[in-house]
């Protein structure tokens, strides 16, 4: 058997250790114990994870890998929450300006901010908190439940037990109520038949009541939870309610056709009906979609649709972010919609009446009997007694305004409507009668005569006047007579003028201009002017 190898400082230490072990085996020396006070078997090495069965070892361990001695400075205690130490009567320097406690400042104060702090009022000084510091070991720092009081969980257990007790009590009362109603009903029937009830029936009713009081386990069967252990790796992976009797045929065995409804083994769902052609009265399963379109599933779908539509219309509503708000808005919407619907119904009934609540029509009218005499010919046409009535319009008829004797639109002329009584085409005009018609005809005749006179005067053209062109115009009259000497002088002046324009150095300082232009000077200007459109302008000079 392998033993633990221990390094000794000298041979003497090794010899003492062997003597101590021999003394312990003989029972002359006390046995070595661990930190829990249990005896350590010297034949079992302390590094073994599991000891042989024949050594009768109670606790094999890896003690050499542990820290043998625990540090006395480490503690497992926790903060004393809400503990107070000292409460002063006056404000102390350096204390919190808001509440007056010395253990924190105003920035980290957890009290409600006062209108005037304790520093200025010197009243209602808060007590100092108990501040503790702990030096935790490795496990203590990582302990999630450090400082947890297990006694607080008793409140949760009490709350759930009270709820279950109230539920059981309510179910018992409902069952007793049903039995009492049934008993009273049977008593009423017995009194009608003869008023005799046997003692055996009374005993049976009492037995039923006792069974209702005693039997409470069957009422809680629905809340029974079973573990699923038929998993790939074994063991339980969750819980499932016992909702189906195991003798029933599984949904995926109802129709073995490959092309029938799809069964998803992961979610155990089959949405479509596996037997769509079967009699619905004989089917107990019609697919999972029947649950989606009935009961609270349909209401939940309507709630989602309402939330989407309200969000599209600009309301700040979200089904996942604020479900309570969405449900409250949906309830308000349904109430308002119902009120609007009833209001519309009442308005229609006030206007048109309700035939269901009115008095019954007399039998004479229902059978079509009356004292009116109607005569028919051999072909079945009405000769006398039932004249056809003209249908009435929803608009006002035969209403005359402004002293008119006919309605608007009874006269038409020149693409205009008017009144037949006065032949006026203005809607709001006052009726003038026959005098207005004569005056309108006279005005029309006068207007026609004026138009004819104007047309005849425009036909005769006015005599054209001869236009005399000025001497400096663009058009030269034919009867213009020019002096040859004056024209020669004007040509010379025009050449000198053009020469000066080409060379500005020859222009004199004092230049006199004559604004009067004679016919000869104008003719000289025309003769010397350059015509830019003339194709022979380059060959003139």
Q: For residues 409 and 417, give the distance between their C-alpha atoms in angstroms, rounded to a whole number.
A: 5
Phi, psi of 400, deg, nearest 5: -100, 135
Q: Residue 387: name the closest of 372, 402, 366 by CA.
A: 372
| Per-residue confidence (pLDDT) for residue 248, from 0 to 100 | 77
| Per-residue confidence (pLDDT) for residue 187, from 0 to 100 | 80
DSSP state of 150: G
The maximal CA–CA distance of the chain, rounded, in angstroms, is 177
Q: For residues 298 and 186, give the distance between their C-alpha atoms in angstroms, rounded to a whole number.
A: 40
Model confidence over 24-39: pLDDT tens digits?
666 655 555 555 555 5
The answer to whether position 340 is within a domain reads yes
Beta strands in 94-229, from DSSP E residues, in sequence order: 225-227
| Average pLDDT of the segment spanning 302-308 | 93
Model confidence over 494-524: pLDDT tens digits?
888 877 776 666 666 666 666 677 888 888 8
pLDDT band at 490 (very low <50, low <70, confident <90, very high): confident
Look at the chain and count its residues: 541
The answer to whether position 328 is within a domain reads yes
User: Does residue 422 sit in the same domain as residue 438?
Assistant: yes
Relative orientation angle of helices 296-312 and 323-352, to the nearest 10 degrees: 90
| Per-residue confidence (pLDDT) for residue 518, from 0 to 100 | 82
> What sign has the CA pseudo-torsion 138, 139, 142, 146?
negative
Q: Please tell me which of 130-139, 174-183, 223-232, 451-460 the model is most confident about, judged by mean pLDDT.
A: 174-183
Total Cβ atoms within 10 A of residue 362: 9
Q: For residues 499 and 206, give the distance between their C-alpha atoms in angstroms, rounded to a whole number.
A: 151
pLDDT at 488 over 50: yes
| Per-residue confidence (pLDDT) for residue 337, from 0 to 100 | 95
Q: For residues 164 and 168, give the distance between their C-alpha atoms in angstroms, rounded to a whole number.
A: 6
CB-based contacts of 210: which residues, under 8 Å, 6+ apart?
A: none
Q: Please tell me which of 41-50, 62-71, 268-277, 395-404 the model is most confident about, judged by mean pLDDT.
A: 268-277
| Per-residue confidence (pLDDT) for residue 165, from 0 to 100 | 94
Q: For residues 514 and 164, give the distance between their C-alpha atoms in angstroms, rounded to a whole number.
A: 131
User: What is the number of domains present in the chain?
Assistant: 5
| Average pLDDT of the segment spanning 241-245 | 55
99 exposure class (CB count in 10 Å sphere: 0-12, 13-18, 19+): buried
Q: For residues 217 and 91, give the distance between their C-alpha atoms in angstroms, rounded to a whole number.
A: 65
User: Does residue 342 sit in the same domain as residue 300?
Assistant: yes
Higher-confidence position of 51 and 104: 104
Total Cβ atoms within 10 A of residue 59: 13
User: Does residue 401 sit in the same domain as residue 447?
Assistant: yes
| Per-residue confidence (pLDDT) for residue 114, from 0 to 100 | 94
The answer to whether position 259 is within a domain reads yes
Q: What is the 3-state secondary structure (H, E, C) of 51-70?
A: CCHHHCCCCCCCHHHCCCCC
Q: For residues 486 and 494, give the distance between their C-alpha atoms in angstroms, rounded to a whole number.
A: 12
| Per-residue confidence (pLDDT) for residue 377, from 0 to 100 | 85
| Per-residue confidence (pLDDT) for residue 59, from 0 to 100 | 58
pLDDT band at 478 (very low <50, low <70, confident <90, very high): low
Higher-confidence position of 284 and 102: 102
Distance of CA 8 to the CA centre of its chain: 81
CB-based contacts of 377: which residues, under 8 Å, 6+ apart?
A: 383
Flag the least confident range among 24-33, 246-255, 385-394, 463-472: 463-472
Tell me the average pLDDT of the chain: 77
| Average pLDDT of the segment spanning 6-30 | 64
The answer to whether position 222 is within a domain reads no
Do residues 22 and 29 make contact, with C-beta atoms less than 8 angstroms apart? Answer: no
534 exposure class (CB count in 10 Å sphere: 0-12, 13-18, 19+): exposed
Q: For residues 206 and 183, give the distance between their C-alpha atoms in angstroms, rounded to a whole number.
A: 10
| Average pLDDT of the segment spanning 44-48 | 48
User: Does residue 490 sit in the same domain as residue 521?
Assistant: yes
| Per-residue confidence (pLDDT) for residue 198, from 0 to 100 | 52
| Per-residue confidence (pLDDT) for residue 519, from 0 to 100 | 82
Total Cβ atoms within 10 A of residue 212: 19
The answer to whether position 121 is within a domain reads no
Q: Which domain holds residue 520?
A: 483-499+515-534
User: Does residue 281 sit in the same domain as residue 301?
Assistant: no
Total Cβ atoms within 10 A of residue 524: 23
CB-based contacts of 500: which residues, under 8 Å, 6+ apart?
A: 506, 507
pLDDT at 293 over 70: yes
The answer to whether position 47 is within a domain reads yes
CA angle 155, 157, 158 (to 5 degrees): 65
pLDDT at 446 over 70: yes
User: Does residue 307 sit in the same domain as residue 327?
Assistant: yes
pLDDT band at 121 (very low <50, low <70, confident <90, very high): very high
| Per-residue confidence (pLDDT) for residue 57, from 0 to 100 | 55
Q: For residues 337 and 343, give the distance between their C-alpha atoms in angstroms, rounded to a whole number.
A: 10
Higher-confidence position of 100 and 58: 100
pTM of this structure: 0.26
Total Cβ atoms within 10 A of residue 471: 15
- Scan for tokens 């009243």, then name that residue: 123
Do residues 74 and 100 make contact, with C-beta atoms less than 8 angstroms apart? Answer: no
Instruction: Calculate Rg over the CA atoms of the chain.
Output: 61
Instruction: Tell me whether strands 382-384 and 411-413 are parallel, antiparallel or unpaired.
Output: unpaired
pLDDT at 470 over 60: no
The answer to whether position 524 is within a domain reads yes
User: Does residue 419 sit in the same domain as residue 438?
Assistant: yes
The number of helices, as runs of H, and strands, as runs of E, in the chain is 12, 6
pLDDT at 222 over 50: no
| Average pLDDT of the segment spanning 61-82 | 68
Q: For residues 403 and 208, give the distance between their C-alpha atoms in angstroms, rounded to a whole number.
A: 94
Phi, psi of 63, deg, nearest 5: -70, -30
The answer to whether position 108 is within a domain reads no
């Amino acid at each position: 058997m392998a033993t633990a190898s221990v390094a000794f400082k000298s041979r003497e230490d090794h010899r003492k250790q062997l003597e101590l072990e021999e003394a312990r085996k003989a029972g002359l020396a006390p046995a070595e114990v661990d930190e829990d006070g249990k005896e350590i078997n010297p034949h079992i090495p302390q590094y073994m994870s599991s000891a042989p069965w024949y050594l009768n070892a109670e606790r094999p361990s890896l003690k050499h890998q542990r820290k043998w001695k625990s540090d006395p400075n480490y503690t497992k205690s926790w903060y004393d929450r809400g503990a107070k130490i000292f409460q002063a009567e006056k404000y102390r320097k350096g204390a919190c300006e808001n509440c007056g406690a010395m253990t924190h400042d105003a920035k980290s104060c957890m009290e409600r901010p006062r209108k005037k702090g304790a520093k200025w009022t010197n009243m209602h000084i808060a007590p100092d908190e108990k501040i503790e510091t702990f030096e935790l070991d490795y496990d203590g720092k990582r302990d999630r439940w450090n400082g947890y009081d297990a006694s607080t969980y008793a409140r949760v257990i009490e709350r759930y037990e009270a709820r279950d007790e109230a539920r059981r009590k309510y179910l018992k009362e409902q069952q007793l109520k049903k039995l009492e109603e049934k008993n009273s009903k049977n008593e009423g029937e017995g009194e009608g038949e003869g008023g005799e009830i046997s003692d055996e029936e009374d005993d049976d009713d009492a037995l039923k009541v006792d069974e209702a009081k005693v039997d409470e386990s069957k009422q809680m069967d629905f809340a029974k939870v079973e573990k699923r252990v038929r998993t790939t790796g074994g063991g339980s992976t969750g819980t499932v309610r016992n909702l189906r009797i195991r003798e029933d045929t599984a949904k995926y065995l109802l129709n073995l056709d490959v092309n029938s409804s799809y069964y998803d083994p992961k979610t155990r769902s089959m949405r479509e009906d596996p037997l769509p052609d079967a009699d619905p009265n004989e089917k107990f399963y019609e697919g999972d979609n029947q649950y989606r379109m009935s009961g609270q599933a349909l209401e939940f779908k309507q709630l989602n649709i309402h939330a989407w539509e309200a969000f599209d219309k600009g309301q700040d509503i979200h089904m996942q972010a604020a479900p309570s708000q969405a449900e409250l808005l949906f309830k308000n919407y349904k109430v308002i919609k119902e009120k609007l619907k009833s209001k519309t119904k009442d308005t229609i009934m006030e206007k048109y009446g309700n035939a269901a609540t009115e008095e019954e029509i007399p039998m004479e009218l229902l059978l079509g009997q009356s004292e009116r005499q109607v005569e028919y010919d051999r072909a079945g046409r009405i000769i006398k007694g039932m004249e056809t009535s003209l249908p009435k319009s929803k608009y006002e008829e035969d209403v005359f305004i402004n002293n008119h004797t006919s309605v608007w639109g009874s006269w038409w002329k020149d693409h205009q409507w008017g009144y037949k009584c006065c032949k006026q085409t203005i809607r709001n005009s006052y009726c003038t009668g026959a005098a207005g018609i004569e005056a309108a005809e006279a005005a029309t005749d006068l207007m026609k005569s004026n138009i004819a006179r104007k047309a005849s005067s425009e036909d005769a053209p006015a005599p054209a006047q001869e236009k005399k062109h000025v001497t400096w115009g663009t058009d030269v009259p034919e009867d213009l007579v020019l002096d040859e000497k004056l024209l020669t002088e004007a040509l010379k002046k025009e050449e000198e003028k053009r020469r000066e324009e080409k060379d500005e150095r020859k222009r004199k300082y004092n230049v006199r201009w004559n604004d009067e232009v004679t016919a000869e000077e104008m003719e000289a200007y025309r003769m010397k002017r350059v015509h830019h459109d003339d194709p022979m302008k380059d060959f003139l000079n």
